[in-house]
Chains A and B, each alone.
Chain A
Amino acid sequence: MKSIIIVKLDDVIDCSTVDVLFLIIDLNLQESKMHDSSQLKKEFIKKWVQGLQICCSSKRQMSILERKRNIKLSADIALASAKNATTSWSKALISEAKKDREKNILVDNLLGHESKFMGAHQKVTSHNRIRSKKILRRSCGIGKRIKKMGYRRSDSPTCIAKRLVKKRTQVLKRLVPGGESMDEFSIITEALDYILSLRVQVDVMKNIVNATNLLN
């Protein structure tokens, strides 16, 4: 193991310390294949390292805010691509990033061939879905208005509860990427998955922050 590290460090002399750090982590992760979350962690770190390298190589001097944005962006995309686009929130994240030209480079580099395969197609479908949903909602709204004119039942407790749930579901839809075009059942499934992967992301980032603190 010692020798591997030395070799890696030799390769990396001209990179930044952070990269060294990631490489060491990366190296260790390659050997660990335990359960699902560690697998995801490994994927995530691998992608993130790539993403950060791309980000850092593009511009040498950046303000802190810019750095932060880049770091977050690369982390998000890494997370999405670590999920391998099996879930719709990750697809939505990637297609969102693809709209931006600068981010597009990052996505292309991270995903490789897959992104070209699914990119444009995905964008169109998600747009369409949102639009049709909007139309549907509008037409539903008309129906509701007529109903409410007839008799007012919005005061009953079940109605209030329903309204509360609906409002919260809409908030949740806004929180989960790509949630606008989902129905109630799939939004909950997606939220489940999204929470799990956010946890992985937070875990990894925390560890790295601690590591960098120790380095200083």
Chain B
Amino acid sequence: MNRAYPEMLDLHNATVTGRADESVFERQQARMKWQQQQHQILFNENDHQVPIPSSCLIGNIKPDPGLLNGWPDFSDGCDDLFQPLMADQRILQRNSSSVSLSPKKRKNLENQKVLSEVNGIKGKKIKGSSNESSTETSTKEKSKVTETQKPDYIHVRARRGQATDSHSLAERVRREKISERMKYLQDLVPGCNKITGKAGMLDEIINYVQSLQKQVEFLSMKLATVHPRLDLDIDNLIMKEMFEVSAVSYSSEMVNSSYFQLNSLLEMGINPIDMLLRRSMGGTQVPETFCVSSCFNQIQPSVTWDGDLQNLYRMELHQDTIPYNHSQKFTGSYEGCNLKMEM
């Protein structure tokens, strides 16, 4: 409402003048007058026959935002138009203490069964700029949340027997949002598919997050223990590797271990598909790398892109059989490497 208020005043700059000096009462009167005008316009446009006296609070019509799109004549100001409307309704409802017992009613224009039905009208909840203008009524339809094009509104339909005051409606929307997110989480966390119930799912999620965090701890510990050893012979390693790399030309005959290592390094943590693409574009410049990568993925198949890669690799194999030989060579060399490492 706080947001809607200035807009409304802006809209009525023409009718309401000198708003700073006006008393509250006068302002409200002006607003009511304006609202009547709006209603008239509204109904003229729609050929709606139901007369709405301004005093009759039950008859306040809140047009369906979905319907708004169908009104070409309102296109210039329709966005601003309904925020004041809602604000007005609240004021009117507040003013009338006598009607406070009867529930506030609001209908869809779509329905066209205006006013006559008291029970079983489609309920609607408006959330947004005018914080909480509530609504009610139960339908037999399933409760459903639909996000309309306008972000300010959320439609809620209450089932029969469900509470329809604004708080429980809001709560229901919130719960549905949460459960939607939980579904995403369920897909994300392995082994969460079979579990029903929020508590069990949360348990699983917690376990997963914890295991991931512990994995990070463990891996960093491992890296920490690995580094010192590396530091000892940094210079040797680097010099050796550098010379070898600079000496090596990228031909398939070179299968020395350091070369293999470098290739494997190239493949770590990167997108091998990129390699593949480059290879398929630029001919057979780096077939070895690719083969090595495939070896690697067979060795440690936990990485996410493995599936895609292996599929691609297989496709590649069907296309030409030359890389396959390479890969065999490389697996051989890799085993040799392993042996060396074990020794």
Residue positions of A touching B, CB distance < 8 A:
1-2, 5-6, 9-10, 12-13, 16-18, 20-21, 24-25, 28-29, 31-32, 34, 37-38, 41, 45, 64-65, 67-68, 70-72, 75-76, 161, 164-165, 168-169, 171-172, 175-176, 184-185, 188-189, 191-192, 194-196, 198-199, 201-216
Contacts and interface: CB of A to CB of B under 8 A. Distances in A.
A209 B215 CA distance: 12
Main secondary structure on B side of the interface with A: helix
Contact of B304 (A64, A203, A215): A203
Nearest to A186: B181
A75 to B, nearest CB: 6
Nearest to B177: A185
Interface residues of B, number: 68
Main secondary structure on A side of the interface with B: helix
Interface stretch (B1-9, B107-115, B234-242): B234-242
A76 B216 CA distance: 9
A215 B337 contact: no
A184 B206 CA distance: 14
B303 A203 contact: yes
Contacts, number: 197
Nearest to B302: A206
A216 B230 contact: yes
Contacts of A24: 262, 265-266
B228 A189 contact: no
Nearest to A73: B220
A106 to B, nearest CB: 15
Contacts of A12: 238
Contacts of B234: 16-17
Chain A to chain B: the 8 pairs with minimum beta-carbon distance, closest first? A168-B202, A32-B274, A68-B224, A67-B224, A207-B269, A32-B271, A205-B219, A72-B220
Contacts of A169: 202
8 contacts: A2-B250, A20-B238, A41-B270, A71-B220, A72-B216, A171-B202, A191-B205, A202-B212
Nearest to A79: B216
Interface stretch (B11-19, B146-154, B156-164, B183-191): B183-191
B269 A41 contact: yes
A168 B269 contact: no
Nearest to A31: B274
Contacts of A45: 269
Interface string B221-239: 1111111111100100111
Interface of B: 174, 177-178, 181-182, 184-185, 188-189, 197-199, 202-203, 205-206, 208-210, 212-213, 215-217, 219-231, 234, 237-239, 241-242, 245-246, 249-250, 261-262, 264-266, 268-271, 273-274, 278, 285-286, 300, 302-305, 337, 341
Contacts of B271: 29, 32, 34, 38
A18 B233 CA distance: 12
Contacts of A195: 185, 188-189, 205, 208-209, 212
B230 A16 contact: yes
Q: Name the residue among B178, B237, B245, B270 with the largest chain A CB count within 10 angstroms.
A: B270
Given A21-B268, A205-B223, A211-B265, 10 more contacts: A10-B242, A32-B274, A41-B269, A45-B269, A171-B206, A195-B208, A195-B209, A202-B219, A203-B302, A208-B268
A6 B245 contact: yes
A204 B212 CA distance: 13
Nearest to B260: A214
Nearest to B201: A168
Contact of B213 (A164, A198, A211): A198
Contact of A215 (B203, B237, B245, B249): B237
B260 to A, nearest CB: 9
A214 B222 CA distance: 14
B304 A37 contact: yes
B222 A209 contact: yes
A168 to B, nearest CB: 4
Contacts of A67: 224, 227-228
Contact of A75 (B181, B216, B245): B216
A72 B300 contact: no
A204 B270 CA distance: 9
Contact of A216 (B242, B249, B269, B341): B341
Contacts of B215: 202, 205
A25 B250 CA distance: 19
A171 B203 CA distance: 9
